[in-house]
Structure 1
Amino acid sequence: MSDQAWTDRIVGERMTVDQEFAARIEESQFSSQQWSLIMTATEFEIEHPDDPDRARIVANTEKLDGIIPELENVQAGMGAMAGQAADTGSGSGSSGGLVDSIMGALGIGGGNGGSSEKEQREAAERLTQEYADELQSHLESKGRWESVRRAAGGD
């Protein structure tokens, strides 16, 4: 059975875990838009699916490097929109929007305390694994884990 087949079986559970995990995302350094981007680059796998004692859902984050730079663009775009909404025409001071995002893209300027790409990747890896753990816990509580594990193992 393909890796995709077991994930297709748990779409409803994923939606439930997504809703439950939303509070955790709000506490994190990522916006919901950034989290969505991170999740598109993350694949979930079941490690050791043929061993009930060792099987667990893991987050495969190999593709994160491709989207990490885009996380800043998403945040900069949100900052620019917020800056436009907050700007009352005084023209004084920077809202941290467009100019800062251009300077950041050029690699100049001190930044606004933003994290490095390495730090963002590490935070994304931790958070996606937390999500994977939560998903497995949810499947276990619903009595679905064994059938999903077996499906991933090709049984």
Structure 2
Amino acid sequence: MSDTSWTDRIVGERMTVDQEFASQIEGSQFSNQQWSLIMTATEFEIEHADNPEQAQIVANTDNLDGIIPELENVQTGMGAMAGGGAGGGSSSSSGGGIVDSIMGALGMGGSDGSSEKEQREAAERLTQEYATELQSHLESKGKWETVRRTAADG
């Protein structure tokens, strides 16, 4: 279902969008290392590639379940460096990082299941925002139509 030929053609554009998207990562609940792991598990697809009016890049997050438990390990392994070096970190969480971990261990941050569910939902939202920004970038550079046709032919 996923076709990598169109994604291979936009590697340079993705690098540009990655740089532009960095501020959204800093404002999220995820560290850069966690975001890298999320992106590794995410595939981008073009839905309705054969229809110019409906075609859009979407984030396929079916593989996130395999890495969500690992996100905490990445954060824990980073220790204070991730929390202090991420530019303030979370805007949607009261503490973030170590504080959230302690609260969770004390049973005050919700169950692990809901925490993982919340992480998955946040990762899904952020990856779709990235997909939207990537498509917008391709459109602004005049490359979207070629990319869409390549995906439709694949």
| Range of TM-score over shorter length | 0.7 to 0.9
| Residues 26 and 80 (structure 1), Cα distance of their counterparts in 2 relative to 1, 3 Å cut | closer
| Residues in 1 aligned to 2:60 and 2:14: alpha-carbon distance in whole angstroms | 16
| Residues in 2 aligned to 1:151 and 1:78: alpha-carbon distance in whole angstroms | 40
| Residues in 2 aligned to 1:23 and 1:56: alpha-carbon distance in whole angstroms | 23
Instruction: Find the counterpart in structure 1 of residue 9 from structure 2.
Output: 9
Instruction: Find the counterpart in structure 1 of residue 107 from structure 2.
Output: 110
Structure 2's unaligned 5+ residue stretches are: 84-97
Give SS of 1:116's match.
helix
Query: TM (normalized to structure 2)?
Result: 0.79
Provide runs of 4+ in structure 1 moved above 3 Å.
80-83, 111-115
Give SS of 1:131's match.
helix
Instruction: Find the counterpart in structure 2 of residue 75 from structure 1.
Output: 75
| Residues in 2 aligned to 1:151 and 1:16: alpha-carbon distance in whole angstroms | 21
| Structure of higher CA gyration radius | 1
| Residues 116 and 13 (structure 1), Cα distance of their counterparts in 2 relative to 1, 3 Å cut | same
Give SS of 1:128's match.
helix
Give yes or no for contact 2:17–2:134 (8 Å, CA) kept in 1.
yes
Instruction: Find the counterpart in structure 2 of residue 154 from structure 1.
Output: 153
| Residues in 2 aligned to 1:124 and 1:62: alpha-carbon distance in whole angstroms | 11
* Bigger Cα displacement from structure 2, 18-27 vs 108-117: 108-117
| Residues 70 and 144 (structure 1), Cα distance of their counterparts in 2 relative to 1, 3 Å cut | same
Give SS of 1:62's match.
coil
Give yes or no for contact 2:75–2:82 (8 Å, CA) kept in 1.
no
Letter in 2 for 1:59: A
Instruction: Find the counterpart in structure 2 of residue 89 from structure 1.
Output: none
C-alpha displacement of 1:112 = 6.4
- What's the C-alpha RMSD, in Å, of the aligned pairs? 2.7
How many pairs were matched up?
137
| Residues 49 and 75 (structure 1), Cα distance of their counterparts in 2 relative to 1, 3 Å cut | same
Sequence identity (%): 78
| Residues in 2 aligned to 1:112 and 1:19: alpha-carbon distance in whole angstroms | 32
Asked if 1:24 corresponds to 2:21, the answer is no
| Residues in 1 aligned to 2:21 and 2:55: alpha-carbon distance in whole angstroms | 22
